[in-house]
Amino acid sequence: MKDNNYPTSTFEWEGKQINVIWIRTDSLEEFSPITQVYGICFNDKDEILICRRNKEDGWQIPGGHPEKGETIEETLKRELLEEVDVKSKKIKILGVQKVYPKDELEKFSYQLRCVCEVDKLLPQTPDPDNGDTWERKFIPAQEAVNYIKWGLTGDIMFKDAISLWKSI
């Protein structure tokens, strides 16, 4: 796989330049290690669920780190319940982001992105991980890039998500 064939964005994170490459795929055979699993969750109005821990944090999509022995689906379902109190269904792999410090390609990991349907919106509870109750809201799918500013890779990822969602 040649990384220069995919959309790439560069961000500063914890004082380092980080490259993020978006790779649209429905197979995870060649992508390891998967360090994060996040969901682009649609409701029956074709809106996307976004969330944030507090007003100082930026908007994001819900998800987190797999725990030992969890499948991708188990990880996403658990994270959606813990962070935003959502039950989900129809989980489909959308793609991966290859993430690595700039000029240190050998230190890469993959962050999985899935598309899913919100099955049930539950009353909100504190996240067992940090005790915070996440703010959540639904936005028109086409407006996701106005809230979540992940550069070219994010723009293409959300376009891919909308396209996949329409085909489910």
Residue with tokens 């029956």: 44
The β-bridge relationship of strands 109-121 and 34-42 is parallel
Write out the residue range of the structural domain in which residue 147 sits: 10-167
Please give the pLDDT value at position 83: 96
Domain CATH code at residue 152:
3.90.79.10
2 belongs to a structural domain: no
Q: Is 67 exposed, middle or buried (0-12, 13-18, 19+ CB in 10 A)?
A: exposed
Please give the pLDDT value at position 127: 94
54 belongs to a structural domain: yes
Please give the pLDDT value at position 136: 97
Domain count, the chain: 1
**Residues 154/9, Cβ–Cβ less than 8 Å:** yes
Q: Which residues, given as ranges, of the chain have pLDDT below 50? A: 1
Cα distances (Å, whole numbers) of residue 102 to 5, 13, 17, 153: 17, 11, 5, 16
Cα 168 to chain centroid distance, Å, stands at 18
Please give the pLDDT value at position 2: 52
